Amino acid sequence: MDQWPQDISIDAFRRTWVLEGEPLWRRVFDTHREKMQIKNPQVAVGNLEKIFTCTFRLANSKGFQAMSLRDLSRETGISMGGLYAYIGSKDDLASAIEEVLRKTIDDVMSDQAVLDLGPLDRLKAIIYGDIYMNDIMHPWYYFCYLEAKGLSRDQREAAMQMEIKFDERLQETFVAGIAAGIFKADKVALLAANTTSMLQQWYLKRWKFQLLGTRIDEYAAFVYETTLHNLNYQDA
């Protein structure tokens, strides 16, 4: 947190929020401790990593519904019976993915350090932070976006609420900038929606960016500058 957001690089972000590797799977374990029969963290964490990453590989290529637990068993090397020691059901697995991602986003979004910044720095921190997070947790985002229909009503609702909240956070930043006299814009809600959509593209349209050869910092800068331009920053 010390270096954020002064040093806006993906490496700094990685150091601040450890969203991958062992700490991530440990958090997955903690979140779903009750729902599984395995009690020993040491052994659980390794298998959870296998189960989740293989689910991403399978679901993000053929779809979660089309993926069978036999596929998952083969891919993870864990037997059918073994899998059920970690998940209550197939739906429960999808549900767990959504829950972990949502809680993680919630953590990062409530970072007080970002909330205290001025409009310009705050906008930059939100945009860069979100893209870095999309990048690091790409399979999680991709899964939740495309498999949303399979989730429970409550979870779909929660996912929508989260996007609304994100839009509002952008909008507030826009409005703060307008009040400060550095931004000028009419349709702030639509502009916020557009920025959100640009950010989502980073995990939804990987193939396109690969084709164009666009790298992450370049894209983050593009989103930031485009948003500023939409807000008529320095044009007045």
Binding site for a copy of itself (CB under 8 A): 60-63, 65-66, 146, 149-150, 160, 163-164, 167, 187, 189-191, 193-194, 197-198, 201, 205, 207-208, 211-212, 214, 219, 222, 226, 229-230, 235
Residue with tokens 């549900």: 95
Tell me, residue by residue from 13 to 42, as one string, x for binding to DNA by CB under 7 A and - for no binding.
------------------------xxxx--
Verify binding: residue 61, DNA, rule CB under 7 A: no
Contact 41, 26 (CB under 8 A): yes
Q: For residues 112 and 236, which CB has a smaller minimum distance to a copy of itself in the complex?
A: 236
Q: Say how many CA atoms lie within 13 Å of 125 toward its Cβ.
A: 23
Q: For residues 31 and 194, which CB has a smaller minimum distance to a copy of itself in the complex?
A: 194
Q: For residues 85 and 212, which CB has a smaller minimum distance to DNA in the complex?
A: 85
The single-letter DSSP state of residue 122 is H
Please work out the total of residues on this chain that contact DNA, with binding judged by CB under 7 A: 22
| Rounded Cα gap, residues 201 and 214, in angstroms | 12
| Rounded Cα gap, residues 127 and 46, in angstroms | 33
Q: For residues 26 and 138, which CB has a smaller minimum distance to DNA in the complex?
A: 26
Q: For residues 81 and 213, which CB has a smaller minimum distance to a copy of itself in the complex?
A: 213
b/e string for 110-137 if b means 16 or more Cβ within 10 A? ebeebeebebbebbbbbbbbbbbbbbbb
Closest to 97 in 3D by CA, of 58, 144, 149 = 144
Selection from a copy of itself, DNA, none that 89 binds (CB < 5 to 8 A by kind) is DNA
Verify binding: residue 80, DNA, rule CB under 7 A: yes
Q: Give residues with Cβ within 8 angstroms of 157, minimum separation 6.
A: none
Q: For residues 79 and 197, which CB has a smaller minimum distance to a copy of itself in the complex?
A: 197
* Helices marked H in 63-205: 69-76, 80-83, 90-109, 112-115, 119-136, 138-146, 153-179, 188-204
Q: How far is the CB of 151 from DNA (least distance, A)?
A: 15
The single-letter DSSP state of residue 7 is S
Among positions 29, 51, 90, 101, the unique one binding DNA when judged by CB under 7 A: 90
| Rounded Cα gap, residues 181 and 12, in angstroms | 31
Among positions 23, 63, 77, 118, the unique one binding DNA when judged by CB under 7 A: 77
**Residues interacting with DNA, by CB under 7 A?**
37-40, 43-44, 47, 67-70, 77-82, 84-85, 89-91
